[in-house]
Amino acid sequence: MQAAISTSIPPSFTAFRSDNSAARCHFAAGLRFCGLHRHVLLSLGEAIETRQLRKRISASLSESGASKNGFDYDLVIIGAGVGGHGAALHAVEKGLKTAIIEGDVVGGTCVNRGCVPSKALLAVSGRMRDLQSEHHLKALGLHVPAAGYDRQGVADHANNLASKIRSNLTNSMKAMGVDILTGVGTILDTQKVKYGKVGFPDTVITAKGIIIATGSVPFVPNGIEVDGKTVFTSDHALKLEWVPDWIAIVGSGYIGLEFSDVYTALGSEVTFIEALDQIMPGFDPEIGKLAQRVLINPRKIDFHTGVFAKKITPAKDGKPVSIELIDAKTKEPKDTLEVDAALIATGRAPFTKGLGLENINVVTERGFVPVDERMRVIDADGKLVPHVYCIGDANGKMMLAHTASAQGISVVEQVSGRDHVVNHMSIPAACFTHPEISMVGYTEPQAKEKADKEGFKISVAKTSFKANTKALAENEGEGLAKLIYRPDTGEILGVHILGLHAADLIHEASNAIALGTRIQDIKFAVHAHPTLSEVLDELFKAAKVEIHASKTVAEPVAV
Ligand SMILES: Cc1cc2nc3c(=O)[nH]c(=O)nc-3n(C[C@H](O)[C@H](O)[C@H](O)COP(=O)(O)OP(=O)(O)OC[C@H]3O[C@@H](n4cnc5c(N)ncnc54)[C@H](O)[C@@H]3O)c2cc1C
Ligand SMILES: NC(=O)c1ccc[n+]([C@@H]2O[C@H](COP(=O)([O-])OP(=O)(O)OC[C@H]3O[C@@H](n4cnc5c(N)ncnc54)[C@H](O)[C@@H]3O)[C@@H](O)[C@H]2O)c1
């Protein structure tokens, strides 16, 4: 594995990252926020009230500023990304004296180099698509002169949004009484952490519990030379310093697909390079096929599958970016591409080196911190490390912002004396292309495998956006919702949606899975007409479950 070489690492972070041979980070100063955690949305009045409550709690904990059990803090979190932020706010709400240590800027990947700026760019690409689609506009009876854009204006939108969200996150923690400690955190013992900036003496603090929330950085395969200008990762691409005429995107996962939506809307031609035999291999195969028909084929996108980019050389001395492709299986040379730019979107590497894990006898697995289902860290002998937890991208269970936050909240519940386990099968994911793709639970092949192993049958139901009034009114009838379920019990095993606002629609299904609601019950829930939510209503109604609703008569409610 080769590090993505940063050209702009602040001095304090150079030292912080220096022992990370697996992956170094591009800590671009600038961007911020994630509307992720409900606490962010606290009004100022609520925040002040909560802060007063927090002060009263602190006073009762200790007069000397230490927590009541003799530690400096009840909880210390290393890393102020969305996982750390979610955990910190929940901890304060639970009355825990809490500190969060951040070596760079609050908000981590999601706010500064991930979800937030990418969704700002995707908001622009969505509007550009609408304005450029003559066919679509004509169908609505609209006539709009040619659409154009100002690259710097688009880049500013992403940067400004990140800054705004970053300060929202910071202010929400300050208002709640979380101590934000600046510097690199290193674990000294299961209840002791040091932190400090380069050139300053370290401070040692003790805590009843420690949460590792140090996140991840772009993974760049060996042989790929990143110069940050013509060969770059999402860290650079989000700044939108230029829009290449022709860009190769290595990897057709979430990042690749979302950036293909942005670049093609802004006028680029895209070539995907994907190691597996199929483009967008992570999706349910049927949704993947439809995604290819809707998101790839009609756009200026071509692709090479079953190939690795063995060597990528940045543009130099008037020569374009050169990409040497080899067959993923035989390793034989296949082709050499010459393009204007290359975006490396081949996954992310955990950022866990230099954390002092050796001081608590923990050995990482491909860089990830091993944890059990309660996010408790497991040591090299397979035993639980007391008092230490790891959440978010650093444990690799599911690299999504809301998962990091949910895991953090779950850990705080445990630290506060209430057992809690996150049900990862109920966590939705979404790809914010136009139209969007969303999913929760198993894909059809995964569900089949589980069914064969455990000896039950699965069924599949589907509905089309073409039958939905609201979608048709919007002239957005392209789309499919798919339900994979157990006909004998009505259990929802997976739901996959491609279509307008799929990312919002998935929550009815994910909440049903989280709450254990069965299809025979949810199919009686009433949906407003005409709404896109009726796509899911129809989906549940289309399922053929062998048993009846557990409760057919609602409790009478006085109106
Ligand atoms: C381009 C892109 C788009 C994305 N879009 C989405 C999306 O739409 N939806 C979604 O759910 N997910 C998205 N993700 C994934 C999401 O950003 C991550 O899953 C999420 O940020 C993980 O949160 P985290 O708290 O675990 O880590 P991070 O957000 O990476 O935060 C870790 C923090 O820890 C700090 N740190 C590390 N080591 C130390 C140390 N020793 N001492 C002190 N501080 C330290 C880092 O500086 C950083 O601030 C996207 C990712 C990318 C790259
Ligand atoms: N909307 C979202 O929720 C969102 C958006 C962006 C990123 N993310 C998160 O960020 C993480 C990283 O995203 P990503 O798209 O980089 O990773 P990914 O794992 O989604 O996709 C990586 C793709 O690259 C391919 N690949 C890997 N090595 C390759 C090589 N050498 N040559 C060619 N192809 C190769 C893989 O087969 C895979 O298809 C994901 O875990 C995702 O959860 C989420």
Closest ligand to residue 158's CA:
1
Tell whether 289 and 437 lie within a shared domain. no
Closest C-alpha residue for ligand 2 atom 4 = 254
Residues with CB under 6 A from ligand 1: 78-84, 101-104, 108-110, 113-115, 118, 184-185, 213-216, 234, 255, 351, 355, 392-394, 399-402, 404, 432
Helix (H, G, I), strand (E, B) or coil at 343: strand
Q: In this structure, which residue's CA is closest to atom 7 in ligand 1?
A: 115
**Per-residue pLDDT at 353:** 85
- Calculate how far, in angstroms, residue 216's C-alpha sits from the geometric centre of ligand 1: 6
Pairing verdict, β 179-182 and 184-189: unpaired
Question: Is residue 396 a part of any domain in this protein?
Answer: yes
| Nearest-angstrom CA–CA distance, 315 and 331 | 25
Classify residue 552: in a domain, yes or no.
no
Q: Which tokens hold the place of 259?
A: 């950036």
252 is in an annotated binding site: yes
Examine the pLDDT at 320 and tell me if it is beyond 60: yes
Going by pLDDT thresholds of 50, 70 and 90, the confidence category of residue 198 is confident
Would you call the peptide bond into 244 cis, given omega within 30 degrees of 0 as the criterion?
A: no
Round the average pLDDT of the chain to a whole number and report it. Answer: 89
463 and 506 together in one domain: yes
Q: Which among 221, 224, 275, 271 has a CA at the least distance from the CA of 248?
A: 271
Do you find a cis peptide bond into 530, omega within 30 degrees of 0? yes
| Model pLDDT, residue 354 | 87
Structure ipTM: 0.98
The verdict on 212 and 81 lying in the same domain is: yes
Say if residue 188 is in the same domain as residue 251: no
Q: Which of 23-32, 499-508, 542-551 ranks highest by mean pLDDT?
A: 499-508
Which mutation among 6, 115, 166, 169 tests ligand 1's pocket best, with the greatest number of atoms within 8 A of CB?
Answer: 115
79 and 213 inside one domain: yes
Ligand 1 probe mutation, 76, 109, 344, 358, most atoms within 8 A of CB:
109
Q: What percent of the chain has pLDDT over 70?
A: 87
pLDDT at residue 55 greater than cutoff 60 = no
Q: Which of 381, 404, 422 is the last residue of a domain?
A: 422
Domain boundary residue, one of 400, 422, 444: 422
Regarding whether 261 and 317 lie in a shared domain, the answer is yes
Predicted local distance difference test score (pLDDT) of residue 145: 87
Q: Judge if 262 and 368 occupy the same domain.
A: no
Beta carbons of 82 and 106 less than 8 angstroms apart: no
Distance 159 CA to ligand 2 centre (A): 23
- Is residue 497 domain-resident? yes
CB contact at 8 A, 198 and 283: no
pLDDT at 204 over 90: yes
Whole-number pLDDT of residue 90:
98
Please give the distance, rounded to the nearest whole angstrom, from the Cα atom of residue 254 to the centre of ligand 2. 5
- Is 133 part of any domain? yes
| Residue 32 maps to a domain | no
The 8 Å CB, 24+ separation contacts for 468-476 are 468/530, 468/532, 468/534, 468/535, 468/538, 469/529, 469/530, 469/534, 470/530, 470/531, 470/532, 470/534, 471/499, 471/500, 471/532, 471/535, 473/530, 474/500, 475/136, 475/139, 475/140, 476/435, 476/500
Strand partners, 262: none
Q: Which ligand has the minimum distance to the alpha carbon of residue 121?
A: 1
Burial of 145: CB neighbours in 10 Å, binned 0-12, 13-18, 19+ = exposed
Q: Which of 88-92, 144-148, 258-262 has the lowest mean pLDDT?
A: 144-148
| Residues 483, 464: Cα–Cα separation, whole Å | 12
Q: Is the pLDDT of residue 15 over 80?
A: no
Question: What is the per-residue pLDDT for 551?
Answer: 63
Q: What is the mean pLDDT of residues 106-120?
A: 98
**49-63, 131-145, 387-401, 437-451: the lowest-pLDDT one:** 49-63
What is the Å distance from ligand 2's center to 314 Cα?
A: 21
pLDDT at 31 over 70: no
Tell me what pLDDT residue 65 has: 60
Q: Is 96 annotated as a binding residue?
A: no
Query: Which of 312, 346, 380 lies at the terminal end of a domain, its last residue?
Result: 346
**Going by C-beta distance under 8 Å and a sequence separation of 6 or more, which residues neighbour residue 220?**
1, 2, 3, 4, 23, 226, 233, 344, 346
Question: So which residues are the catalytic ones?
Answer: 529
501 and 394 share one domain = no
Q: Closest residue (by CA) to atom 6 of ligand 2?
A: 255
Mean pLDDT calculated for residue range 266-286 = 97
Indicate whether 41 pLDDT > 90: no
E strand residue ranges, 347-491: 348-350, 376-378, 384-390, 429-431, 436-441, 459-464, 480-485
Atom number of ligand 2 nearest to Cα 256: 15
Note down the domain range covering 466. 425-542
Domain CATH code at residue 151: 3.50.50.60
Cα of 257 from ligand 2 centre, angstroms: 9
**pTM (global) more than 0.95:** no
Q: Is 216 annotated for ligand binding? A: yes
Q: Are 435 and 479 in contact (CB under 8 A)?
A: yes
As given in the structure block, the two tokens for residue 198 are 């380069």
Which pLDDT belongs to residue 30? 26
516-540 pLDDT, tens digit per residue, is 999 999 999 999 999 999 999 999 9
Does position 40 have pLDDT exceeding 60, yes or no?
no
Position 294 in a domain: yes
| 32, pLDDT greater than 60 | no
Query: Residue whose CA is closest, atom 19 of ligand 1?
Result: 400
Rounded Cα distance, 5 and 314, in Å = 13
Looking at the CA of residue 105, tell me the nearest atom of ligand 1. 49
Q: Does 98 share its domain with 193?
A: yes
The pLDDT assigned to 552 comes to 57
Strands, E assignment, 314-469: 321-327, 333-339, 341-344, 348-350, 376-378, 384-390, 429-431, 436-441, 459-464
Q: pLDDT band at 374, cuts 50/70/90? A: very high
Q: If you ran DSSP here, which 8-state letter would residue 554 be given? A: P
| Residue 192 counted as domain residue | yes
Q: 424 labelled as ligand-binding?
A: no
Percent of the chain residues topping a pLDDT of 90 = 83
Look at residue 545 and tell me whether its pLDDT is greater than 80. yes
Tell me which residues have their CB closer than 6 angstroms to ligand 2.
221, 250-256, 258, 273-276, 281-282, 308-309, 345-348, 399-400, 429-432
Count of domains for the chain: 3
**Lowest-confidence pick of 42-51, 172-181, 259-268, 378-387:** 42-51
Please state, in angstroms and rounded to a whole number, the distance separating the CA atoms of residues 23 and 222.
11
Annotated ligand binding at 402? The verdict is yes
For tokens 């998935």, the residue is: 506
Q: Which protein residue has the closest C-alpha to ligand 2 atom 41?
A: 399
- pLDDT for 318: 95
- The residues pairing with 439 across neighbouring beta strands, listed in sequence order, are 429, 496
Please, are residues 482 and 542 in contact by the beta-carbon 8 Å criterion? no
DSSP secondary structure string for all residues of 172-199: HHHHHT-EEEESEEEEEETTEEEEE-TT
Same domain, residue pair 414 and 444: no
Query: Is 489 a member of any domain?
Result: yes
Chain mean position to CA 435: 18
